[in-house]
């Protein structure tokens, strides 16, 4: 059995080289650390090695992705006791490859949030500072990887829910091109925006996991037949390329320290003989408003199935309508109710044209603008988040909360690949930088991120330091 220190630093590549099982190490580490971090909703204490090329490597799965014979709660009281009778496609593929699922991670209820404060059970804490949030909605997955509880994890990303917590926790978070990874078994939030992806310690690990979970799935009509070697550009040199950043990045709302780190990032890229150009992206300011019309509208539709009749919480009342109302009132938390109400309002006959139809038109404009930028440049870069991890309970205003997604939302609206990679610290808290690429250019996005990771002054041998390593210094 590995020592605690050795295990917590492992990447998937390291674990493969070791040729031994780390499943028990994972469970022991979770039992030791998670009473403080609270990354997990369910721990699979009976997890065993699974035959396959990656046998003995423990992974965690965000708790809105179903795993057979394990609870899938979506961080909600309405599904608190639901046990899935089947595996999601991505879970099937991971098990077939030999990975062991050691637990399901905490999230904002139904993936609606950016801090995991909206989980019905508890708030996940940031491993770098336990008084701060881990981000969201995949905060549990990001915290589990950053703390070394698991080697890697899966999350889901609707408006930044993989990339933002990865940035807050100092790990790698990758959202693949929409349609490359099956959503079968992902409990839907906003179907035109949702995408499953990996949260890992290295970019190479992210490429490896994406290779395994991607592919056409007859059970998900939005998946595409596209053969991609996600590791094709890992280890390649990306000098002499040209990247762009929006001048709007420095608009009001971005933390001064994040702005300084982004300027440092630009200078770092230029030192690698990469051309970095400032461009105009005025449509960026409409991204959050557009998202928060389209996403809640899809929520209103997708969450109508949770009615207490077929599965989950059921508050029995005299009449059917009364049963529906009582079940949903007691089963859903405040943020989910807020978004259902917004979505139902914008889809109503009187306001459909004024809000939802108009938002769809703006979505097309934003997508067209990003695609136009990427037709002239190799990548678009931004900070992942305009702020670092904030203190638990610090942000009360929903509008301030929603604006944290301003840099991550555009990739979802356009269905493009995007990755967050660590780039140093601000006030001892991790900072993430985002790279967005052309549709189906996932391998190049991963390759460029790997090139940065390997040359970054903040990495040691291509590995971002974990909280444990910082303590040891």
Catalytic positions: 62, 137, 161
Could you give the CA distance from residue 26 to residue 9 in angstroms, rounded to a whole number? 12
Neighbouring-strand partners of residue 133: 125
Kindly state the tokens that stand for 111. 């993936």
| 116 three-class SS | coil
Peptide bond into 90 cis (omega under 30): no
Q: Which one-letter DSSP state was computed for residue 91?
A: H
Residue 146's nearest CA partner among 403, 407, 392, 432 is 432
Pairing of strands 429-436, 152-157: unpaired
Packed helices 442-455 and 203-213: angle between N→C axes, nearest 10 degrees: 160
Alpha helices in 104-202 (DSSP H): 139-146, 163-169
Q: Nearest-5° angle of CA 124, CA 126, CA 130?
A: 95
Q: 10 Å Cβ neighbour count for 315?
A: 16
Could you give the CA distance from residue 469 to residue 418 in angstroms, rounded to a whole number? 28
Given a contact cutoff of 8 angstroms between Cβ atoms, the answer to whether 4 and 22 are in contact is no
Given a contact cutoff of 8 angstroms between Cβ atoms, the answer to whether 168 and 146 are in contact is no
394 CB-side CA count, 13 A: 12
Could you give the CA distance from residue 114 to residue 142 in angstroms, rounded to a whole number? 12
Could you give the CA distance from residue 34 to residue 312 in angstroms, rounded to a whole number? 26
Neighbouring-strand partners of residue 117: none
Neighbouring-strand partners of residue 153: 60, 199
DSSP assignment of 30-51: HHHHHHHH--EEEE-TT----S
């Amino acid at each position: 059995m590995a020592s605690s220190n050795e295990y917590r630093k492992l990447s998937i590549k390291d674990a493969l080289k070791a040729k031994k099982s780390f499943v028990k190490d994972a469970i022991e580490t979770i039992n030791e650390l998670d009473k403080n971090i609270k990354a997990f909703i369910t721990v699979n204490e009976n997890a065993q090695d699974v035959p396959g090329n990656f046998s003995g490597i423990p992974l965690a799965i965000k708790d809105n992705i179903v795993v057979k014979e394990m609870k899938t709660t979506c961080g909600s009281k309405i599904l608190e006791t639901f046990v899935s009778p089947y595996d999601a496609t991505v879970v099937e593929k991971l098990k077939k490859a030999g990975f062991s699922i050691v637990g399901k991670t905490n999230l904002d209820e139904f993936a609606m949030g950016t801090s995991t404060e909206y989980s019905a059970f508890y708030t996940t804490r940031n491993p770098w500072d336990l008084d701060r949030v881990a981000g969201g909605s995949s905060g549990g997955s990001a915290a589990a990887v950053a703390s070394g509880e698991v080697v890697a994890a899966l999350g889901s990303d609707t408006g930044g829910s993989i990339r933002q917590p990865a940035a807050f926790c100092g790990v790698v978070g990758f959202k693949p091109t929409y349609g490359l990874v099956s959503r079968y078994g992902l409990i839907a939030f906003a179907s035109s925006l949702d995408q499953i992806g990996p949260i890992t310690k290295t970019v190479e690990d992210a490429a490896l996991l994406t290779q395994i979970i991607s592919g056409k799935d007859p059970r998900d009509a939005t998946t595409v037949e596209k053969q991609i070697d996600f590791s094709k550009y890992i280890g390649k040199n990306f000098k002499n390329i040209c990247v762009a950043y929006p001048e709007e990045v420095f608009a009001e709302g971005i933390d001064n320290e994040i702005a300084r780190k982004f300027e440092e990032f630009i200078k770092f890229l230029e030192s690698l003989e990469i051309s970095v150009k400032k461009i105009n992206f005025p449509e960026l300011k409409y991204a959050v408003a557009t998202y928060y019309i389209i996403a809640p509208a899809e929520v209103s539709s997708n969450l109508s199935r949770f009615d207490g009749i077929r599965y989950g919480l059921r508050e029995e009342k005299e009449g059917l309508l009364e049963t529906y109302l009582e079940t949903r009132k007691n089963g859903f938390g405040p943020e989910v109710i807020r978004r259902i109400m917004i979505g139902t309002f914008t889809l109503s006959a009187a306001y459909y044209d004024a809000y939802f139809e108009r938002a769809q038109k703006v979505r097309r404009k934003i997508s067209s603008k990003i695609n136009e930028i990427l037709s002239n440049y190799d990548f678009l870069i931004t900070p992942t988040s305009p702020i670092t991890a904030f203190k638990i309970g610090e942000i009360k205003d929903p509008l301030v909360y929603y604006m944290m997604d301003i840099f991550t939302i555009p990739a979802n609206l356009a269905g493009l690949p995007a990755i967050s990679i660590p780039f140093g610290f601000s006030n001892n808290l991790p900072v993430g930088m985002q790279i967005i690429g052309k549709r189906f250019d996932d391998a190049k996005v991963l390759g460029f991120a790997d090139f940065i990771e390997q040359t970054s002054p903040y990495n040691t041998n291509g590995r971002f330091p974990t909280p444990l390593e910082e303590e040891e210094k």
